Amino acid sequence: MRFCSTIIKISFFIAVFIGTFFCFSVQAQTSTSSPYSRFGVGSLEYNGFASNTAMGGCYTAYQNDTLIPLFINQGNPASYSTNRLTTFEIGGRASNTNYTSNLDGSVKKINSGFNYISLAVPIKRNMGLAFGLLPFSNVGYNSTSYGNTDSIGQVQYNYQGSGGINQAYMGFAIKPFDKSLRSFQRSAQFKALRDSGEHKIIRRKKFWLRALSSLSLGTNVSFLYGTIDYYSYAYYPYNYGTVFNTKQYTETIVHDAYLQGGAQMAFDIDSIGKHNLKNNIKIILGYTISLPKRVSATQTEVGYTFSSQSNGVEQPFDTFAYKPSYKGSIYIPLMQSVGIGIKSGDKLTILLDGGFQQWSKYSFFGDNQKLRDLYKGSIGFQYLPNRAAIGGLAYLKRINYRIGARYNTGYLVLNNKSISEYAFSAGIGLPAGGGRFKLFTMLNLSGEYGVYGTTQNQLIQQKYFRMVLGLTFNDRWFIKTRYD
């Protein structure tokens, strides 16, 4: 019966996964209305699910311990080896953004959509596997400007973009030296040191071997896919004939593999000098790298003049540009991050992240758009009063409380101004049921307030509030039973 139950769960996840993949593939993404998504590959999505969002987007040194419920940290694939249960995560988000300009006033936009789906499965005590779907970047803008000429008059220019890039990934992690400490404790050297009373040497070797045993190495192999559409219109004055209106359309289809790697190592500290600590402190070091890659893409360009009918339909008049299905590449640059996590028992977690992205090397079919390198930093806190609390207010003590903040310099410089971003976040993790060999569930709610860009030098500033809702399920799937 347990085997049948496992098969049903796997089949259900595969069905959800395929359905989500289909939705990602056939529908344009509407997760942004930012005019800055016109540059690069669009508005980049940072690596993280709902719990990460609440903690400033920190992910580099974020990992599971043996406490339930567990989570999936897609941002650093090295974390997969710490999952002890099959873990399933799914999430969506909604944002309310106020776009402000000193020239045109302000306008509000609401965007929402599916955000991620992922499954992580422990293979052995020291190995883990994960796969899922999430967005890599989003494009969505619609802007208008005007130009005056002496011979024609005022010309209206309209620029639109839509679509984005998604990633379907599979990740694997392993602790290659998992048995180092146990091997030492069973060795003749350990016995000899113990018999001779060399307890200080034993403690020192155990400290470093415990850290070596915790070293985890992981990788995500992603398939990037999606379509980015750009439109450019020019509307000429009516008295010159509407046939002079022009439209240029560029469709870019992305399809290639992408590689990310990560590492994590933990140090356990139970005493300082001769003083034993009340709560053990765990220090986690993390590192991730996304290798630079020339992502294969196919592009089609079309340009033609048209007239506008009274019912709003375009009537094509003459094609002046046509370049179908030619191949090229998008150079996605090197991205790295380092992080440190500090855990005091199972109550307090502090995360610090710093990152670098080499966007000065970026190019889109040979055009680098004069982007600059991006630097980012974030900090996050999680507090759990008492996960084993019972009594009247016990549930409030079992909730995970999270806050965070982040900043990045951005990779755009427009009108001599840097387009940077900062945000503050908070959230909670609400546990729901569970028990031995039963399903463990957590509802993660995160809210983030951020500011992107500036109103100086005729630019646009975005002030947004974003909500992310995620569900995490833990269960034991692959269990050998003596009786059925």
| pLDDT tens figures, 265-288 | 998 877 665 666 677 889 999 999
Lowest mean pLDDT among 45-49, 358-362, 420-424, 476-480: 476-480
Q: Which of 14-18, 30-34, 106-110, 387-391 has the highest mean pLDDT?
A: 106-110
CA distance 412 to 395: 46
Q: What is the pLDDT of residue 28?
A: 41
Token output for 413: 């410089």
Cα–Cα nearest to 178, from 203, 211, 205: 211
Structural contact between residues 445 and 430, judged by C-beta atoms closer than 8 angstroms? yes
State yes or no: pLDDT of 22 exceeds 80.
Answer: no
> 395-403: long-range contacts (C-beta < 8 A, 24 or more apart)?
398/431, 399/428, 399/429, 399/430, 399/431, 400/51, 400/428, 400/429, 400/431, 400/442, 401/428, 402/51, 402/54, 402/55, 402/426, 402/427, 402/428, 402/429, 402/446, 403/54, 403/55, 403/427
Q: Sorting pLDDT into bands at 50, 70 and 90, what band is 8?
A: very low
pLDDT of residue 280: 81
Residue 318 · residue 305 · CB < 8 Å: yes
Residue 218 has pLDDT above 90, yes or no: yes
Domain ranges of the chain: 2-84+114-176+215-387
CA 451 to chain centre: 19
Supply the Cα-derived Rg of the chain in whole angstroms. 26
Beta bridge partners of 327: 298
Which range is least confidently modeled, 37-46, 80-89, 225-234?
37-46
pLDDT of residue 195: 75
Joined tokens for residue 214? 């915790």
User: Distance (Å, rounded) from C-alpha 423 to C-alpha 48?
Assistant: 15
pLDDT at 81 over 90: yes
pLDDT of residue 33: 82
Q: Is the dihedral of CA 449, 112, 445, 263 positive or negative?
A: negative
Mean per-residue pLDDT, 243-250: 85
Confidence at 458, pLDDT banded by 50, 70, 90:
confident
DSSP single-letter state for residue 313: -
Report the predicted TM-score, pTM, of the whole model to 2 decimal places: 0.86
Q: Is the pLDDT of residue 114 over 90?
A: no
Q: What is the DSSP string of 30-83?
A: -S---GGGGSTTSEEPPS--HHHHHTTT--TT----SSSSP---TT-GGGGGG-
User: What tokens were used for 445?
Assistant: 């709610």
pLDDT of residue 143: 85
Q: Where are the beta strands (DSSP E) in 207-313?
A: 216-235, 245-272, 275-290, 293-308
Residue 312 has pLDDT above 70, yes or no: no
Residues pairing with 287 in the sheet: 263, 338
**pLDDT (0 to 100) of residue 150:** 65
What per-residue confidence (pLDDT) applies to 296? 94
With a pLDDT cut of 70, the percent of the chain lying above it is: 85
**What letter would DSSP give residue 365?**
T
pLDDT at 190: 75
